[in-house]
Structure 1
């Protein structure tokens, strides 16, 4: 009997997925941050080209460090962020995934994504992950280690940006890593371009690159090597751009990886198959897909997910979000043409959802138990750091991309944002977002059944 059939056999009838679900309270228990402009030096054997990053984020090559101001883009108000490209060194920038299993010293394995947002503009952005240690007593975050991805054994099945070098360090032109788990001394990373699963040694060396299979067929996206333009959405590729693995959870007991796509799959004609995301299970021991797949239904207004981690053998947390950025209290007035001091698309849906993976209906939907609202966090003890809290009302986490969640203990979770340096704000108009880590007390959410 397959794992999927075994689960279905134990399912109970579920309410209609569109019905309102319970919203649980969240209280801020700690707040820490890594400054937005945090840089790391490349390894000594890295090509000199990688010592200046962000040279290709504009319309033409630019090698003059700190010469072009970052901007959130016209859609989000055209605000400058106060931090300029290119960088001398590599930007640590936003966190794009927490591993459920911590390092021996208690620090968190945290992943940085492809660099500057696309395959085209990130050939000089190195790929790496870190050990991060937030200190909520001081409000600081210490980067204890950075591990750079490289391909010394030529495991990557296509030409990489640094193909002609001895070190063969990987960049954002090769992969877009978005989720990470630590299993039996090695790492598994879910990425978006393939989408692929990357099996990685403790030192960052690539061990395997595994394509995605759903119902026996390989999934591809517009940035998958081998997909040629012109290509028809839904026919030549099914995964949306920036729609690969944003979340990948490690299930205790089974040690299966539950890999969740960020956005709905495409169908013939270019539309999507629905307001749900595919979840496929993978067996790291066998290095193969199990053949089982499930569905996560997005709530109204949500467009994507940010992270996915189990809290016990069957319950898991998922971040779901809209594409908004900035506190609604600073939203632009309807029809405003001057957006220099306001947010034209403020954050509205930033939830952390509790799932019951042992309860799946006949159509494959995983049961949503309830959620907390990251735009409505109580702060009765004044834990929010100065300069990073609203003038009034509850504490909010109003960032465009919130991509990290993990259980800390029976009553607390850790949440962090991806600040897309230097292209996102969210706290203050005209200021780049920091890498914020928040500790939330959510006992009702974690104990809900």
Structure 2
């Protein structure tokens, strides 16, 4: 275990792996810099929020806006609220128990169930890595016309550089990820302002829940999978499990308030970016059909043709930044999963090399990237219940959570989210079987 950090300096500590949270504080009652200390408590949700604006989100939102206009606005908004609750529960579990969700599953679930949960968690981690690495490489290709193999190499180098920040301490890693998140926000915001042509009636109509067949069902599942990401659920509990050292129930309730603030701020930003991407795509393709074109490439080209090179550049930069930042976060999440379930770990750099291999193959094979990214997010949607059900069960147990045990209303809300995701997955399967 790493040595704790005095809250009065809030200096970071290098950690050996992602399973040990990215920094610890020794004294919760800081005698110096009260607001510095409180600001230092914020950060985990912003790291996790990066996973909510990864290239998988870009692909699903752009594809949804291009093919259905504003029809799925309600899915983006609902998924973001559900994710906010889920991530709050995950952060609370780490704070209350000092263990992350993967560790709790290993200790409390039967051995066969624990291994099943680990297997599916690794599968969804692979799907996540595919989306993140492929999106970043595509961003470089759009930015510089860089050949895909070379873009893969550059992406790998930059991803390793971000991971190196983690080895030097929590705050450097968090600040690096936050900077990339802000770059995504700036890129999407700039494009929204330059494109304009947003339909107020379309947005209002899109808030009415409605699905219109197999295509919209697949896109809705992809949006949910890209938002309530299973690996992010495991990661958030790890980021809070030993971030602050305290045994006092009063201090834990104090910290819990900041977890709520952290979650609301971080995931509100992520939700706004996702909604912005869908609206941007709906405006771009309002008078044209996407057809068989790759949605991300078509959106980039349309921005350059109809608005200007600056808008296209902002879009490509946002895509690259989302891929690089989320790839680093995803690698940490994969390490948390492996160490929590198996009590084994491999070096982060080795894991990054292993997980980028499938993305390199797909990119070099010329398989349509946006369609591949959307499919990967559908896979994530089916993995959500495997992480979410144990999370809700654990956070309602007083013997685990103590003073931070869920209230009945919170547990009920978590159960509703579980039910909605399971029903959506079942609806998608039935729709695909019928072929509507």
Of structures 1 and 2, the one scoring higher in RCO (CA 8 A, sep 6+) is 2
Determine if the TM-score, normalized by the shorter chain, exceeds 0.5: no
TM-score w.r.t. the length of structure 2 is: 0.24
TM-score w.r.t. the length of structure 1 is: 0.23
Normalized per residue, the structure richer in helix is 2
Normalized per residue, the structure richer in strand is 1
